[in-house]
Amino acid sequence: MQQVVQEIKNLSIGFTSKKGEQISILKNISTTINKGETVGIVGESGSGKSTLALAMMGYVKHGLFTISGECIYQSNDILKMKNRELENIRGRKIAMIPQNAGQSLTPNLKIGYQIDEALRLHTNFQKEDRDVKISELLNKVRLPSPEIIAKRYPHELSGGQQQRVAVAMALAGSPDLLLLDEPTTGLDVTTQAHVLELLNFIAKDTGTSMVYVSHDLGAIAQVSDRVIVMYSGEIVLDGPVRTILKNPIHPYTYGLLKSIPKLTLSGLPNSMSGSQPQPGTIKEGCSFYDRCEFAEDKCKINTPELEFVSELNTSVRCFNHKKLHKKKDEDTKSSKKVLRKLTKNEILDISSVSISYAKQKFIEQLLNKIDDTNPTVKDINIKIDKGETLALVGESGSGKSTILKSIAGLIKAKNGIIKFDKNKILSNDLKKRDANYLRAIQLIFQNPDESLNPNHTVEEIVSQPLKLYFGLSGNELKQKIIEVLKKVRLGEFYLTRYPRQLSGGEKQRVAVARAFAAKPDIILCDEVTSALDVSVQAAVLNLLQELKVDFGTTYIFVSHDLAVVKAISDRVAVLYQGRLCEIGPSESVYKFPSHPYTEVLLGAVLEPDPDIKPKLVAEDIVEEKPPEKGCSFQGRCPRLLGQICKTDVPPWQIDENGNAIRCHIKINDLKNQQTSN
Partner 1 sequence: MTLVIKQEKPKSTFSKIVEIISTMASRPSGLIGLIILVFHVTLAITSPLYAPHDYKAIDPSLMLQAPSSEYWFGTDSLGRDVFTRTILGGRTALTVTFFGSLIALLWGGALGIFCGLVGGKIDDVVMRIIDAFLSIPWILAMLLIVSLLGTSTIVLIPALGFFYGKGIVRVARAATHDVIAKDFIVSARARGHGNFSIIWNEILPNVRDAIMVEGAMRWSWMLLGFSSLSFLGFGVSPPTPDWGLMISNARGLMSFAYWAVLAPIFGLSSLIIGINLTADAFAKALGIDRSTKAPV
Rg (C-alpha) for the chain, rounded Å, is 26
27 part of the interface to ligand SF4, by CB under 6 A: no
Q: Does 361 bind partner 1 (CB under 8 A)?
A: no
The region of 124-132, 157-165, 455-463, 644-652 touching partner 1 under the rule CB under 8 A is 455-463
**What is the C-alpha to C-alpha distance for residues 609 and 568, in angstroms, rounded to an integer?**
21
Specify the amino acid at residue 337.
K
Instruction: Out of 408, 522, 562, 600, name the contact with partner 1 by CB under 8 A.
Output: 408
Task: Tell whether residue 496 is a contact of partner 1 (CB under 8 A).
Answer: yes
C-alpha 640, offset from chain centre: 30
The DSSP annotation for 448-517 comes to HHHHS-TTS-HHHHHHHHHHHHH---HHHHHHHHHHHHHHTT--GGGTT--GGGS-HHHHHHHHHHHHHH
Residue 457 makes contact with partner 1 by CB under 8 A:
yes
Distance in angstroms (rounded) separating the CA atoms of residues 609 and 607: 5
271 versus 354: smaller Cβ distance to partner 1: 271
Judged by CB under 6 A, the number of residues near ligand SF4 is: 25
Is 148 among the residues that bind partner 1 (CB under 8 A)? no
Distances (CA, A) of 449 to 100, 222, 278, 452: 19, 30, 18, 6
- Does residue 497 bind partner 1 (CB under 8 A)? yes
Q: Single out the residue of 177, 413, 438, 604 in contact with partner 1 (rule: CB under 8 A).
A: 438
DSSP 90: B
Binding mask 614-633 for ligand SF4 (x = CB under 6 A): -----------------x-x
**Interaction between residue 63 and partner 1 (CB under 8 A):** no
List C-alpha distances in Å: 174 to 5, 41, 86, 140: 14, 22, 16, 12
Q: At what angle do helices 127-140 and 111-122 cross, to 10 degrees?
A: 120
Residue 637 interacts with ligand SF4 (CB under 6 A)?
Answer: yes
The verdict on 536 binding partner 1 (CB under 8 A) reads: no
The DSSP element (H or E) to which 317 belongs, if any, is none
Q: Does residue 645 interact with ligand SF4 by CB under 6 A? A: yes
Among positions 249-268, residues that touch ligand SF4 (CB under 6 A) are 251
Beta bridge partner(s), residue 445: none
Asked if residues 74 and 8 have their Cβ atoms less than 8 Å apart, the reply is no
Residue count at the site for partner 1 (CB under 8 A)? 40
Q: Which does 251 bind (CB under 5 to 8 A by kind): partner 1, ligand SF4, none?
A: ligand SF4
CA 38-41-47 angle, 5° bins: 170
Partner interacting with residue 50 (select from partner 1, ligand SF4, none; CB below 5-8 Å by kind)? none
In the set 435, 475, 611, 651, which binds partner 1 (CB under 8 A)? 435
Q: Which does residue 564 bind out of partner 1, ligand SF4, none, counting CB within 5 to 8 angstroms by kind?
A: none
Residue 46 found at the interface with partner 1 (CB under 8 A): no
Contacts of 245 (CB under 8 A, 6+ apart): 217, 221, 227, 257, 608, 609, 610
CB of 534 to ligand SF4, least distance (A): 17
CB atoms near residue 212 (< 10 Å): 28
Q: Indicate which of ligand SF4, partner 1, none lies near residue 394 (CB less than 5 to 8 Å, by partner kind).
A: none
Q: Which is nearer to partner 1, 251 or 614 (CB)?
A: 251
**Scanning residues 254 to 283, which ones bind partner 1 (CB under 8 A)?**
273-274, 277, 281
Among 244, 250, 258, smallest CA distance to 312 is for 244
Interface residues for ligand SF4 in 277-336 (CB under 6 A)? 286, 288-289, 292, 294-295, 299, 304, 318-320
Question: Using an 8 Å Cβ cutoff, are 20 and 195 in contact?
Answer: no
654 near partner 1, judged by CB under 8 A: no
Minimum CB separation of residue 431 from partner 1 in Å reads: 9
Query: Which residues in the 649-668 window bind ligand SF4 by CB under 6 A?
Result: 650, 663-665
Distance CA 398, CA 377 (A): 8
640 binds, among partner 1, ligand SF4, none (CB under 5 to 8 A by kind): ligand SF4
Question: Which of the stretches 19-27, 66-74, 419-427, 446-454 binds partner 1 when contact is defined by CB under 8 A?
Answer: 446-454
- The Cα 267–Cα 261 span in angstroms is 8
Distances (CA, A) of 675 to 330, 484, 597, 652, 672: 28, 48, 15, 21, 5
Q: How far is the CB of 644 from ligand SF4 (least distance, A)?
A: 7
Binding site for ligand SF4 (CB under 6 A): 251, 286, 288-289, 292, 294-295, 299, 304, 318-320, 596, 631, 633-634, 637, 639-641, 645, 650, 663-665
Binding site for partner 1 (CB under 8 A): 273-274, 277, 281, 290, 408-410, 430, 433, 435, 438-439, 441-443, 445-447, 450-457, 460, 464-465, 468, 489, 491, 493, 495-497, 501, 514, 518
